Amino acid sequence: MKCLIRNFMFLVLVLFLAACNGESESTSNEGTKEEASGGDKSLTMLFSFASDSLDPHQDAIGVRAGITETLLKIDENLEIQPWLAEDWKQVDETTWEFDIRDGVTFHDGSKVDGKAVKASFERVIKENDAMDAALKIDSIEADGQKVTFTTREPHPIFISELIHTHASVIKADEDQIAEKPIGTGPFTVADFTPGSEINLERYDDYWDGAAKLDEVTIRFNSDASVRALSLQSGEADIAYHLPPEGLDSIESNSELKVESVPSIRTHFFLYNQQNEKLKDQKVRKALDMLINRKVMVEEIMNNHATEAAGPFNPDFPFAGEEESVEYDPKQAEALLKEAGYERNEQGMMEKDGEPLSLKIATYVARPELPLMAQYFQAEAGKIGVDVEIMKIENIDSYLHEKQEAWDLVTYSNLTAPRGDGGYFLNVAYLPDGSLNPGQINISRINELTEQLNGTADPEQRTALQKEAVAIINEEVPHSFVMHPHIIVGVHDRVKNWTPGSEENYLITNEMDVE
Partner 1 sequence: MGMARQVFRIVGKRIFQLVLTILILSFVTFLMMKLTPGDPVRTILKVEDMETSVADEEELREAYGFNDPLPIQYGQWLWKAAQGDLGASFITKRPVLDMLMSRLPATLGLTFGGLLVLFVIVLPLGIIGAVYKDRWPDTLSKWFALAGASIPSFWLGLLLIHWFSLELGLLPVMGTGTWAHFVLPSVTLGVAMAPMYIRLLRERLIQTMNSPYIEAAAARGVKRGRILIRHVLRGSLMSVVTLFGLSVGGLLGGVTVVEILFSWPGMGELIVQAVSQRDYPVVQGYILIIGVIVIVVNLLVDLLYTLLNPEIRYGKEEG
**Tally of CB atoms within 10 A around 323:** 8
Of 197, 328, 467, 475, the one binding partner 1 (CB under 8 A) is: 197
Q: Does 190 bind partner 1 (CB under 8 A)?
A: no
Q: Which is closer to partner 1, CB of 303 or CB of 434?
A: 434
Nearest to 317 by CA among 449, 420, 194: 420
Q: Does 491 bind partner 1 (CB under 8 A)?
A: no
Q: At what angle do helices 422-429 and 458-475 cross, to 10 degrees?
A: 40
CB of 422 to partner 1, least distance (A): 8
CA–CA distance, 181 with 58 (Å, rounded to integer): 12
Coil, helix or strand at residue 231:
helix
Of 154, 329, 433, 458, the one binding partner 1 (CB under 8 A) is: 433
Stretch of 49-57, 377-385, 463-471, 472-480 contacting partner 1, by CB under 8 A:
49-57
CA–CA distance, 305 with 369 (Å, rounded to integer): 13
Residues 221-250: x/- map of binding to partner 1 (CB under 8 A)?
xxx-xx--xx-xxxxx--------------
**Tally of CB atoms within 10 A around 249:** 12
Stretch of 88-96, 130-138, 383-391, 482-490 contacting partner 1, by CB under 8 A:
130-138
Q: Does 4 bind partner 1 (CB under 8 A)?
A: yes
CB of 400 to partner 1, least distance (A): 8
Of 35, 92, 108, 129, the one binding partner 1 (CB under 8 A) is: 129
Q: Does 50 bind partner 1 (CB under 8 A)?
A: yes
Q: Which is closer to partner 1, CB of 252 or CB of 346?
A: 252
Q: Which is closer to partner 1, CB of 142 or CB of 427?
A: 427
Coil, helix or strand at residue 110:
coil
Strand duo 197-202 + 187-193: pairing: antiparallel
Q: Residue 101 carries which DSSP code?
A: P
CB of 417 to partner 1, least distance (A): 4
Residues 23-42 that bind partner 1 (CB under 8 A): 23, 26-27, 30-31
For 184-221, give the DSSP string.
SSSEEEEEEETTTEEEEEE-TT-TT---S-SEEEEEE-
CB contact at 8 A, 257 and 492:
yes
Count of residues near partner 1 by CB under 8 A: 65
Of 402, 444, 493, 495, the one binding partner 1 (CB under 8 A) is: 402
Q: Does 323 bind partner 1 (CB under 8 A)?
A: no
Compute the half-sphere exposure of residue 50: CA atoms within 13 Å on the CB side of its CA.
13
Q: Does 193 bind partner 1 (CB under 8 A)?
A: yes
Q: Residue 296 carries which DSSP code?
A: I
CA–CA distance, 456 with 151 (Å, rounded to integer): 14
CB contact at 8 A, 440 and 477:
yes
CA–CA distance, 414 with 316 (Å, rounded to integer): 13
Of 145, 292, 426, 449, the one binding partner 1 (CB under 8 A) is: 426
Provide Rg for the chain, Cα atoms: 27
Q: Which residues would be at the binding site for partner 1 (CB under 8 A)?
A: 1, 4-5, 8-9, 12, 23, 26-27, 30-31, 50, 52-53, 55, 58-59, 127, 129-131, 133-134, 157, 161, 164, 178, 193-197, 219-223, 225-226, 229-230, 232-236, 394, 396-398, 401-402, 413-414, 417-418, 422-423, 426-427, 430, 432-435
